[in-house]
Amino acid sequence: MKTIMQTINPESFRDEELEEVCRILQKGGLVAFPTETVYGLGGDAMHPEASAKIYAAKGRPSDNPLIVHIADMDALEDIAQSVPEAAVKLADHFWPGPLTMIFPKKEAVPKSTTGGLETVAVRMPSHPVARALIRESGVYIAAPSANTSGRPSPTKAEHVKEDLDGRIDMILDGGAVGIGLESTIVDLSTGVPTILRPGYITGEMLEDVLGEVQVDPAILSQKMNPNIVAKAPGMKYRHYAPKGQMTIIEGDTSKVVDEINRLVKEKTDEGCSVAVIATEETKDAYACANVRSVGSRATEGSIAAGLYDILREMDHIGAEYIYAESFEKDTLGKAIMNRMLKAAAYHVIKV
């Protein structure tokens, strides 16, 4: 299959520019498109075959459910069996935006979209292209991140092309996304609202609106724990991982720098290809040929936005060993470290 590349300017585009992409979605085809979090791989959520094609294109296990993207609250009537008061409050505050909520599903939502579950994940994105696409096509768009299963999520159209060229109908290139980490997922289908995946909307922000919010224990664990099963099926898989072996070094900055420099020398002396994931503040402190700055510690948002691009770059460099600094695990740092720990398969050295 030839994948059509189409560029679109999110700040100024005409709805007519979306005619072809809408036709593809309406016919059950697959389209990658920008959202404010990461690029999504979209298909018609109410069309079982479109969902099946999404799993095939990504190489994704079919028990890992998709998020349904909507453009207005009325859509919930077609998708969710019931909408609790808490969800209406969260929607008031955070939709459109990087928040996904889990509801009991309506019969009409195919099980192939929900990975066999009786619940459905729903998000109303704020990105103007994503919103226009849902509105103009009249399709509720099932969209996982537009990467090959297991690889870092795409924050640029080039990342999508790298993974899915020839496997999907179209890539809509709207430039780099703003946030760079996937949406926060909150389960509202049982008792106390529970965070299943941390993201840009933090636990504190949710608590300000709802009062008590729980966190799925699988997110808090510092290592793979076979006894704790993640409630979001996707969170149980190895993910975001570069091909090289990644290790996170935790501790005071000067000790971290010393330890990384020691490890770099050890592996370089063995003849291995080594890279360091540093920050603007520390990038000059390393004696290594491949030092990449992920962003500035002064703005956590820059680190979130840069992380997946840097993880992909580790493969372009051909790094066999990757040593990364770590970040505070509060607010947005919780989401950043959640992704980094998975990328490192929970290899952490404390200094």
Q: Does 38 bind ligand TXA (CB under 6 A)?
A: yes
Return left, alpha or beta for 337; rule: phi > 0 is left, psi -120 to 50 is alpha, else beta.
alpha
Residue 239: name the closest of 144, 331, 170, 327 by CA: 144
> Binds 119, which of ligand TXA, Mg ion, none (CB < 5 to 8 A, cut-off by type)?
ligand TXA
Q: Is 92 exposed, middle or buried (0-12, 13-18, 19+ CB in 10 A)?
A: exposed
Contact status: 127 vs ligand TXA (CB under 6 A): no
In which residue are the tokens 């994105």 written? 125
Rounded to 5 degrees, what are φ and ψ at 108? -65, -15
67 forms bridges with which residues in the sheet?
121
Report the distance separating Cα 337 and Cα 323, nearest Å.
14
Which residue, 35 or 282, has its beta carbon nearer to Mg ion? 35
Rounded Cα distance between 348 and 346, Å, is 6
Map residues 175-214 to x or -, x wherever contact with ligand TXA holds by CB under 6 A.
-------xx-x----------xx-----------------
Shortest gap between Cβ of 185 and Mg ion (angstroms)?
A: 11
Instruction: Return the range that interacts with ligand TXA (CB under 6 A); candidates 89-97, 114-122, 207-215, 286-294.
Output: 114-122
With CB under 5 to 8 Å by kind, the binding choice for 233 among Mg ion, ligand TXA, none is ligand TXA
Q: Which residue in 127, 151, 231, 292 binds ligand TXA (CB under 6 A)? A: 231
With contacts defined by CB under 5 A, how many residues of the chain interact with Mg ion?
Answer: 1
Nearest to 62 by CA among 120, 118, 115: 115
CB closer to ligand TXA out of 84 and 251: 84
- Residue 230 CB, shortest distance to ligand TXA, in Å, is 8
104 binds, options ligand TXA, Mg ion, none, Cβ within 5 to 8 A by partner type: none
- ω into 96 cis (within 30 of 0): yes
Listed residue (245, 304, 243) closest to 279, CA to CA: 304
Burial (CB count within 10 angstroms: exposed 0-12, middle 13-18, buried 19+), residue 13? middle
Query: Quick check: 145 binds Mg ion (CB under 5 A)?
Result: yes
When asked if residue 326 is in the footprint of Mg ion (CB under 5 A), the reply is no
Residue 126 tokens, joined:
């704020």
Pairing of strands 99-104, 348-350: unpaired
Interaction of residue 121 with ligand TXA, rule CB under 6 A:
yes
Q: Which segment (29-37, 54-62, 143-151, 249-257) binds Mg ion by CB under 5 A?
A: 143-151
Give the nearer residue to Mg ion in terms of CB position, either 35 or 145: 145
175 interface partner picked from Mg ion, ligand TXA, none, CB below 5 to 8 A per type = none
Q: Please state the closest distance from residue 59 (CB atom) to ligand TXA, in A.
A: 13
Cβ 145 to Mg ion shortest distance, Å: 3
In angstroms, give the least distance from the CB of 226 to ligand TXA: 18
Sole window of 117-125, 215-223, 296-304, 333-341 interacting with ligand TXA (rule: CB under 6 A): 117-125
Binding site for Mg ion (CB under 5 A): 145
Binding site for ligand TXA (CB under 6 A): 35, 37-38, 40, 64-67, 98, 100, 102, 114, 117, 119-121, 123, 143-145, 182-183, 185, 196-197, 231-235
